[in-house]
Structure 1
């Protein structure tokens, strides 16, 4: 038994408390079958939307069904204009934006502003309203109001540890699957590496 194999044996004995391998490790059942179907995803997204509406003061008047459509479309990469076009009620991009911020679904471009965000946050901390911020920043009041919603939604989401967006993402994207596949690949690589050390070892 070479030094590498001896080290592996010591680790095995220390970890398991056994000096022999009596069972062949079997692969766990494929997790792809555990993924929720589309109907289950809709139900769970709806539950999250309802939980957010109960916890926060939503400004949007859109129904939970329309909010669910916005969540799903957002993770499909739809623009606000595209999202507005699939809602049950006649809505415009502005209404979709308000709904998205209520749901903590922010895009990087939402924070684009023609003024310093640090200065803006400082004004907000001092209690300045939109008109006062607009005057101080030499900006349009409508732009200030939009950026205020983004800043406040970001703060609200951070306080919740991005829980809701994370849960939406895990339900509607392959992020969780990708993580599992990466972990499987890592384990496969480790197994192949250890098999190369010595294939016929009596512990």
Structure 2
């Protein structure tokens, strides 16, 4: 357990009186890292996405296939803007979908205050007005960083299970690049299917 997780655990116990902070992890179905078939990897990513959708209330209505493409692109190093072009959605939607999936970028946490303070206030159940007052920040800033902190808290409560499983499946650079390229090609093919061409030879 890292220092941040331990701190969140202590805060949770103090405020709820319960030590049940994380779920017991179930036995995994084989080693994720040993899978090198892109279709099998995609199926496992889809399984994780659908499990998360069942467990959490997603903020976007992105289709599961789009979320799989988002996860693959994220681990291939694509920016929110690049992913937005591929998925034909605004970058803000990509950001929200990422946070739904516990995929937080370091840049998401670059707040003008200590994010640990926001984590603590959220665990205590503070609303946006109270948080803004305690942090001495505008409500717009609180609204920007609250989803980031909430995603980190949700992830920590399951021992970062989903994030780590995604990473284990997709940290093979060659595999993730191949899958990302396939996803891009599929998106390009769909985008051009209805375009009629009139070429005279």
Identify whether the pair has TM-score above 0.5, normalized to the shorter chain.
yes
Residues matched between the structures, number: 141
**2:118·2:149 contact (CA, 8 Å) conserved in 1?**
no
User: Per-residue CA shift, 1:91-142, capped at 9, x if unaligned?
Assistant: 1111111100110111112111112324333433443322332344332323
**1:157 is the counterpart of 2:168:** no
TM-score computed with the length of structure 1 as normaliser: 0.63
Q: Which runs of 5+ in 2 are unaligned?
A: 1-33, 174-201
With 146-155 and 66-75 compared, the bigger mean Cα shift is at 146-155
Equivalent positions of 1:167-178 (< 5 A) are: 167-174=165-172
**Alignment TM-score, normalising by the size of structure 2:** 0.63
Q: Specify the structure having the higher radius of gyration (Cα).
A: 1
CA RMSD of aligned residues (A): 2.1
Unpaired runs of 5+ residues, structure 1, are: 1-33, 176-203
Alignment-derived partner of residue 7 in structure 1: none
Indicate the residue corresponding to 2:70 in structure 1: 70
Compare relative contact order (CA 8 Å, sep 6+) and give the higher one, 1 or 2.
2
> SS where residue 78 of structure 1 aligns?
coil
User: Does the CA-based 8 Å contact 2:128-2:142 persist in structure 1?
Assistant: yes
Structure 2 equivalent of residue 57 of structure 1: 57
Return the alpha-carbon distance in structure 1 between the equivalents of residues 145 and 120 of structure 2. 14
Partner Cα distance (1:126, 1:171) in 2? 35
**What's the CA shift for 1:73?**
0.5
- Equivalence map 1:52-131=2 (5 Å): 52-87=52-87, 90-131=88-129
Question: Secondary structure of the equivalent of 2:58?
Answer: coil
Contact 2:131 2:142 in 1 (8 A): yes
